[in-house]
Structures are given as structure tokens and as C-alpha cells.
Amino acid sequence: MTDRIPFTRGSRDGPVLRTVIHSVVPRPRPADELLLRVRRTRWSEDVLVVSATGEIDLATAGRLERALRGDLPAATVLDLTQVSFLGVAGLRVIESAAARAHSEHRTTGVVADTRPVLRLLHLFGVETQIPVYRHLDSAIREVPKSLPAPNP
């Protein structure tokens, strides 16, 4: 931050202005667990809802990735309605989880209604590969219906 403070002594051209620079000490970043909370809820035998609250960026994307791993049911719904920021690292986690689900004959859907999240999903064309819903109840109702047919 720069402030101009008039110097007390003047010259024949008027007061002399001196620039004073105030140093700004950056605040420490909050812990990752405060920036992103992830919760897994088994909605039914075939549906898992993974809800994220906070910011998904390079520092926190690993938390989301861990929640989308392991023994997953036939359908996974990723609820991002409480996400205030979605970075490219988070987007890659979502795409990777959807690709893994597809290869394992499972399905994934995303619920999002905030502008920052929807904008990134749209910019990268994610909604063409992963169904995106505005409401959780719609996703829970529709995602299991889009399960791929089992191979004979």
C-alpha cells in the first residue's frame, strides 16, 4: 500500500511529497481441512453422495480425490452446491473419477448451482461427458437410471 504524505518542509515550488510504503504481512493460509470439507453419505445400496463444502483447488483437491476412491457403489453423485471455488485441479479429480467409474461400469453425476463451479464445468465441456444437475434430488433420481448395461 502506498500513501502520499506531505513533507512538513516546503520548497520554493511547494510542499515536497514523499512516498511512504507500508509493508503488508500476508496472513497465513487456513488449514486445508478448514478450506474444504468432504462428506460421504450412503443414500441407498446403489447410490453414494459425496458432498463438498468450501474451496477445491490444488491444495485441497486430494481430499476430494480420497473421498472418490475405494469401494464405490453403482452410482456416485458429487454434490458441489456448497463449493465457492473450483480450480482446474478439482476439475481433473472429477473427470478422473468419472472416467474410472465408466471403466468400472458405474456412473457418476455432478450437482452444481453456483456460478464459479458451473462456469468452469462449462468452459472445459465437462457437462458433455458427465451429467450435471442443479438439484440433488434430481441427480439422486436420475444418475442410477443412466447405469451402463452390463456386458454379457
6-23 tens-digit pLDDT: 555 555 655 555 555 666
Q: What is the mean pLDDT of residues 51-55?
A: 95
Report phi then psi at 45, rounded to 5: -60, -35
User: What's the pLDDT at 127?
Assistant: 87
Q: Would the pTM count as exceeding 0.95?
A: no
Q: Identify the H or E element spanning 91.
A: helix 88-103
Cα distance between residue 28 and residue 119, in whole Å: 29
pLDDT band at 144 (very low <50, low <70, confident <90, very high): confident
DSSP E strands, 1-152:
2-11, 14-21, 36-42, 47-56, 75-86, 107-111, 132-133
Q: How far is CA 34 from the centre of its chain?
A: 14
For 143, list phi and psi in degrees, rounded to 5. Answer: -60, -45
Q: What average pLDDT does range 97-124 have in this prediction?
A: 93
Q: Which pLDDT score, from 0 to 100, does residue 146 have?
A: 72
In this prediction, what percent of the chain has a pLDDT beyond 90?
60
CA distance 67 to 69: 6
Q: Tell the CATH topology of 32-146.
A: Transcription Regulator spoIIAA (3.30.750)
Q: Residue 130: its pLDDT value, please?
A: 92
What one-letter code names the amino acid at 124?
F
Predicted pLDDT of residue 31: 61
Residues 27-39 pLDDT 10s: 766 665 678 999 9
Q: Tell me, what's the pLDDT at 12?
A: 60
Cβ 80 vs Cβ 52: under 8 Å: yes
Predicted confidence at residue 2, as pLDDT, reads 46
Q: Which positions ≥6 away from 72 have C-beta within 8 Å?
A: 48, 101, 104, 106
The domains of the chain are located at: 32-146
